[in-house]
Amino acid sequence: MVNKEFFLALEDLEAEKGISSEVFLDALRGALVSAYKKQYDGGAGTVDVVINPEKCSIKFYTVKTAVEEVTDPEKEISLAEARELKKSYKAGDEVRKEFVPKDFGRIAAQTAKQVILQKLHETERDNTLNEYSDKKDELMSCVVRKVDAKNVYVELGKGQVEGVMLPQDQVPGEKYNVNDRLKVYVKNIKNNGRNAQVLVSRSAAGLVKRLFENEVPEIKSGSVIVKAITREAGQRTKMAIYSEDPQVDAVGACVGNKGARVNAVVAELNGEKVDIILWSENPLEFIAKALSPAKVISVTQVDEKSAVAIVPDDKLSLAIGREGQNARLAARLTGWKIDVKSESAAAKAALAAEAAKAESGAEEAEEPAPAQSGEEA
């Protein structure tokens, strides 16, 4: 039914793929029972399959219970018939009887092939999950292998594992072509049952953080800490950094000699602007720095997690940014709501507030004093 070459092939698979032959045999055992019952429309009763790799044999057995009087022929065997096979059988014993299925050789061979292919696929999927489970949130090199209307499919590392870049993980304006070499951020590893899927991203803020880790030894060693990072992919990133060591110039470390380090990151991001900001535990000071590259005159807290930043008139558009991008990113970076105003607008607002206050005070002074007790109104 299944010849010696089959068992030798299992040994080769065990050596090549690192999959135990016992895993294949257990799966094959169950598949053969299922295939046999299917062939006989489920009327074969209880069937067991014994596979012996040493003897290169596969044997089928019916499994029935010995009883005094048979009521279910598919599951029971008379005690008298059982004792013809073995005299020591008693009522209630499990009786196993070998049989040879008719015309089952082709089905057995086909089933064996299907089981092996399925187990190979499942094992490769599990190996992928195991290999990449510790790669989440990491930076990896890849090669673009396929681009369709929506997704980009890449080959990761040396294991030829496929990664998928969904539309939301692609950078607006970036073009991806087959055989392009990219650096991607491993966003997630999904097991959807039949396939393991590694989701990668070029738009995640984590990509920029990992790129800086590669370029800046001080970040890698922990002497410079990335406190916060926010990004609008393809346009601008703001990254707040900090060092507890006063001897370390955190911003200088990230910029590098003549801008070499930050320029290397910007080149990988295809020219995306990157603002490196020194984090401060004083939130108002941090807000002023977050609005870089604009110069900020003052920042005043208005409410909890809400502040007004005053900038020179000629720096207002720079502070707000195109379509509000700079102020928006600064707000995300700091976690505060930021209202950006020009110096002249703030001065006018202050004068208007003073005038309103003065007018309110004058009106109060003109009101007649309340009548005293015993006096005529």
Kindly state whether residue 162 falls inside one of the protein's structural domains.
yes
- Indicate whether 116 and 11 sit together in one domain: yes
Kindly state whether residue 377 falls inside one of the protein's structural domains.
no
- Indicate whether 117 and 141 sit together in one domain: no
> What share of the chain in percent tops pLDDT 90?
54
Alpha carbons 328 and 320: distance in angstroms, whole number: 8
For tokens 């990219």, the residue is 182
**Helix count and strand count (H, E) for the chain:** 12, 15
Number of domains in the chain: 4
H or E segment and range at residue 60 = strand 57-67
Weakest mean pLDDT among 25-39, 155-169, 263-277, 303-317: 25-39
Closest CA to 347 of 305, 313, 301, 296: 313
Tens-place pLDDT, residues 219-270: 999 999 999 999 999 999 999 999 999 999 999 999 999 999 999 999 999 9
Q: What is the pLDDT of residue 197?
A: 76
Tens-place pLDDT, residues 141-171: 999 999 998 999 999 876 567 889 999 999 9
- Does 376 have pLDDT greater than 60? no
- Does 205 have pLDDT greater than 60? yes
- Does 34 have pLDDT greater than 50? yes
Q: What is the pLDDT of residue 374?
A: 45
pLDDT (mean) for 29-39: 75
Alpha carbons 130 and 189: distance in angstroms, whole number: 10
CATH number at residue 15: 3.30.1480.10
pLDDT (mean) for 128-134: 73
- Indicate whether 240 and 275 sit together in one domain: yes
The range of the structural domain enclosing residue 95 comes to 4-130
Q: What is the pLDDT of residue 365?
A: 58
Q: Please state the φ and ψ torsions of residue 227, each to the nearest 5 degrees.
A: -80, -35
Q: What is the pLDDT of residue 290?
A: 97
Q: What is the pLDDT of residue 36?
A: 73
CATH number at residue 217: 3.30.300.20
Alpha carbons 107 and 113: distance in angstroms, whole number: 10
Q: Determine contact, residues 248/224, Cβ cutoff 8 Å.
A: yes
CATH number at residue 185: 2.40.50.140
Tokens read off for 13: 């698979």
Residue 92 DSSP label: T
Instruction: Tell how far CA 241 is from the center of its chain.
Output: 25
Provide the mean pLDDT of the chain: 86
Q: Determine contact, residues 185/202, Cβ cutoff 8 Å.
A: yes
- Indicate whether 150 and 244 sit together in one domain: no
| DSSP state letters, 266-295 | HHHTTT-EEEEEE--SSHHHHHHHHTTTS-
Query: 105, 130, 155 — which closes off a domain?
Result: 130
Kindly state whether residue 375 falls inside one of the protein's structural domains.
no
- Does 125 have pLDDT greater than 80? no
- Indicate whether 160 and 216 sit together in one domain: no
Q: What is the pLDDT of residue 372?
A: 52
Query: 110, 130, 150 — which closes off a domain?
Result: 130
Q: What is the pLDDT of residue 375?
A: 44
For tokens 């045999």, the residue is 25
pLDDT (mean) for 353-376: 62
Alpha carbons 121 and 115: distance in angstroms, whole number: 10
Kindly state whether residue 371 falls inside one of the protein's structural domains.
no
- Indicate whether 263 and 287 sit together in one domain: no
Amino acid at 349: A
Using DSSP's 3-state secondary structure scheme, residue 68 falls into: coil
